[in-house]
């Protein structure tokens, strides 16, 4: 089975395909939003809230409407469980899936194996499995409180390398870590960055934001943007503004 996400050159990916819209709104609103974005974006990110509200059908439904679904469930459990969960996610037709790199090499390999098994069962391409390194919500003090005493940047690089060595397609990280991660993983890895705000937008509860252009410049292959789009009066206009900001950097 081919690995559709192992691309040879970042610049070969059109800016429209680098934007992932986070549908962090109640179910009906999320589905209406998806409909209004049809034809304007390729990727929608479904997180835990929407998934737990609407269940697996939401992935099938959005995929059926022509979107690529990034299912951000951040799996973290014993390898056997994660293998089973990744297999079911793949069989739903999700195109991207997250796991916590801190689950360790065996868990990461199990996620990859499960995603391939599930995809094969239904005859689709396996999703890209990418790893969450260090949650950007954790401060150095939070990390130290759970026994992680290295600086966050060191942990991020270490976990990104672990994910790469386990065969994963890439990682999720802050735009501020994208350059370090890109340097560690090389040009073909997926580097997916949330915490992105178009110039002039409120950062809301994101503590360290970057613009679409600066995230791409730092090495992001994809950016995740939620509320600046889903909370806008004219979401499609914001989508096009973000895409054109990225086009300046491709
Ligand atoms: O609305 P906003 O653009 O801030 O949404 C960002 C999305 O990225 C949310 O779905 C959030 O859960 C996710 N995310 C994040 N920071 C991380 C990991 C994921 O903001 N470190």
Q: Is 175 in the pocket of ligand 1 (CB under 6 A)?
A: no
Task: Specify if 91 maps to a domain.
Answer: yes
pLDDT number for residue 250: 60
Task: Specify if 250 maps to a domain.
Answer: no
- Name 51's Cβ contacts closer than 8 Å, sequence gap at least 6: 58, 59, 71, 73
Q: Which residues are catalytic?
A: 74
Number of domain units in the chain = 1
Q: Is 194 in the pocket of ligand 1 (CB under 6 A)?
A: yes
> pLDDT tens for residues 46-89?
999 999 999 999 999 999 999 999 999 999 999 999 999 999 99
What is the DSSP secondary structure assignment for residue 210, as one 8-state letter? B
Distance CA 224, CA 199 (A): 15
Q: Is 210 in the pocket of ligand 1 (CB under 6 A)?
A: no
**At 2, is the pLDDT very low, low, confident or very high (cuts 50, 70, 90)?**
very low
User: Which CATH number fits the domain that encloses residue 84?
Assistant: 3.20.20.70
Task: Specify if 102 maps to a domain.
Answer: yes
- pTM for the whole structure: 0.93
The pick from 19, 21, 24 for probing ligand 1's pocket by mutation, whose C-beta has the most ligand atoms within 8 angstroms, reads: 24
Task: Specify if 3 maps to a domain.
Answer: no
Task: Specify if 249 maps to a domain.
Answer: no
Task: Specify if 231 maps to a domain.
Answer: yes
> pLDDT tens for residues 194-248?
999 998 888 888 777 899 999 999 999 999 999 999 999 999 999 999 999 999 8
DSSP string, 22-84: E--S-HHHHHHHHHHHBTTBSEEEEEHHHHHHH-THHHHHHHHTTPEEEEEEEE-S-HHHHHH
Q: Ligand 1, closest atom to CA 22? A: 10
pLDDT number for residue 206: 79
State the distance from the centre of ligand 1 to the C-alpha of 164, rounded, in angstroms. 22
> pLDDT tens for residues 144-198?
999 999 998 999 999 999 999 999 999 999 999 999 999 999 999 999 999 999 9
Distance CA 44, CA 34 (A): 8
Task: Specify if 1 maps to a domain.
Answer: no
234 is in which domain, residue-wise? 10-244
Per-residue CA distances from 125 to 92, 221, 222 (Å): 11, 20, 20
**At 37, is the pLDDT very low, low, confident or very high (cuts 50, 70, 90)?**
very high
Answer for the pair 182, 210: CB distance below 8 angstroms, yes or no.
Answer: no
Task: Specify if 185 maps to a domain.
Answer: yes
98 three-state secondary structure: strand
Per-residue CA distances from 33 to 58, 86, 188 (Å): 13, 27, 31
């Amino acid at each position: 089975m081919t690995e559709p996400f192992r691309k040879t050159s970042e610049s070969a990916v059109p800016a429209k395909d680098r934007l992932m819209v986070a549908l962090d709104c109640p179910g009906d609103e999320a589905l209406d939003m998806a409909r209004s974005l049809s034809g304007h974006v390729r990727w929608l990110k479904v997180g835990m809230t929407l998934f737990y509200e609407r269940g697996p059908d939401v992935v099938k439904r959005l995929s059926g409407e022509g979107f690529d679904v990034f299912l951000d469930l951040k799996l973290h459990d014993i390898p056997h469980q994660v293998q089973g969960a990744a297999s079911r996610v793949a069989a739903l037709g999700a195109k991207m899936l997250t796991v916590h790199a801190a689950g360790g090499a065996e868990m990461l390999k199990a996620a990859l194996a499960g995603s391939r098994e599930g995809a094969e069962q239904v005859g689709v391409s396996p999703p890209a499995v990418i790893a969450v390194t260090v949650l950007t919500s954790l401060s150095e003090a939070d990390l130290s409180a759970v026994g992680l005493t290295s600086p966050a940047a060191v942990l991020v690089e270490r976990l990104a390398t672990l994910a790469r060595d386990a065969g994963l397609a890439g990682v999720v990280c802050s735009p501020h870590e994208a350059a370090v991660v890109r340097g560690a993983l090389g040009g073909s890895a997926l580097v997916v960055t949330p915490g992105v705000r178009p110039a002039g937008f409120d950062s809301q509860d994101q503590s360290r934001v970057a613009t679409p252009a600066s995230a791409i410049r730092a090495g992001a292959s994809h950016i995740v943007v939620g509320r600046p789009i889903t909370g806008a009066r004219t979401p499609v206009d914001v989508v096009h503004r973000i895409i054109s900001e990225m086009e300046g950097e491709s």
